[in-house]
Amino acid sequence: TLKVPRLGDSITEGVINEWKKKVGDYVYSDETLAVIDTDKVSVDINSKTSGALHKIFAEAGDVVLVDSPLCEIDTSAQPNENDIRKNTEVDHENKLEVNDEIEHTNNDEDIKIKETNVDTKNKNENNFAGSSSYQYNNERTEKRIRMLPMRKRIAERLKESQNTCALLTTFNECDMSKAIVLRTELKDIFQKKYGCKLGFVSLFLYASTLALKKMPQVNAYIDNDEIVYKNYIDISVAVATPNGLTVPVIRDCQNKNLPQLELALSDLAAKAKNNKLSLDEFTG
């Protein structure tokens, strides 16, 4: 039985990121079995002996304690022809890498340089946040992804820093000359076609929507130990009322173009002016 090894000082548990082998696979000595994530590092768990993976005691995503059983390896099992062939191919690739390492040297300092490909162990969590793997649609749904221990600890530290440190607000200048020209050129045409004036706030809303589509993690929130990604974009916007500013919500901005955003904003402003905003228009 292979137990969870010590993962570092003060680390008592970890989360299984993935299993590199499945039950029934033949494992060679020192071959990677699984990857365990902690709040500090990700650790490759290697087999101490050769044999067949007979049983696993925890699935990917489970929390495991140091010294708890991780898996069983049947050392009496023998590799089949496919296992031997795969192992031979791996050895051949490793030899090629060593040869490349020897050949690629620095002429001035004779420093060996090895070319490697980065393998992101947290690929599931990171890829989902990328624009290429996350598409907005007409459904108002959410997807929850469990945070890895390291990311959870980072979030805790950042929140602690926010609560205990003095915050500083910074301001950056933005060149609005093209937006001013666009508004001037389209002002009369826009009002004639849609019945409302084209303002700057709708441009900010449209730009924000494009940014959130590209970086959906900014549109996400943390709920306990999960990151919740929204399949929709709701943006709060301040509008004036007789009693001061209020902040209703424009929903489903991902499905609206610039004129539709301006019309939605104009509608909320009119309702706010007449105290006609409903509670539902403040949620999102």
Boundaries of every domain in the chain: 2-94, 140-282
User: Apex CA 276: angle with CA 273 and CA 281, to 5°?
Assistant: 105
**Residue 203 belongs to what H/E stretch?**
helix 201-214
Q: What is the DSSP letter of 147?
A: P
Q: How many CB atoms lie within 10 A of CB 178?
A: 8
**Residue 117 belongs to what H/E stretch?**
none
For tokens 């990857």, the residue is 35
Q: d(Cα 41, Cα 168) in Å, to the nearest integer? A: 31
Residue 140 contacts residue 152 (beta carbons within 8 Å): no
Q: What is the pLDDT of residue 249?
A: 93
For tokens 């570092």, the residue is 8
Q: What is the pLDDT of residue 81?
A: 65
DSSP sequence for 2-29: EEPPP-STT--EEEEEEESS-TT-EE-T
Indicate the burial class of 69 (C-beta count within 10 angstroms; 0-12, 13-18, 19 or more): middle
**CATH class name, domain 2-94:** mainly beta
CATH of 140-282 given 3.30.559.10, 3.40.50.620, 2.40.50.140, 2.40.50.180? 3.30.559.10
Q: How many CB atoms lie within 10 A of CB 151?
A: 19
Q: What is the pLDDT of residue 108?
A: 45
Q: Provide the 3-class DSSP secondary structure of residue 99.
A: helix
Q: What is the pLDDT of residue 131?
A: 44
Q: What is the pLDDT of residue 204?
A: 94
Q: d(Cα 273, Cα 242) in Å, to the nearest integer? A: 6
Q: What is the pLDDT of residue 241?
A: 83
**Residue 230 belongs to what H/E stretch?**
strand 226-230
Cα torsion 102, 103, 107, 111 to 10°: value is -20
User: Apex CA 271: angle with CA 141 and CA 221, to 5°?
Assistant: 25
Q: What is the pLDDT of residue 1?
A: 82
Q: Provide the 3-class DSSP secondary structure of residue 128.
A: helix
pTM of the model: 0.61
Q: What is the pLDDT of residue 122?
A: 47
Q: What is the mean pLDDT of each run of 10 residues along the chain (284 residues)?
A: 82 88 89 86 87 89 89 85 58 50 47 40 48 63 85 85 87 91 92 91 94 92 89 92 88 93 92 86 82
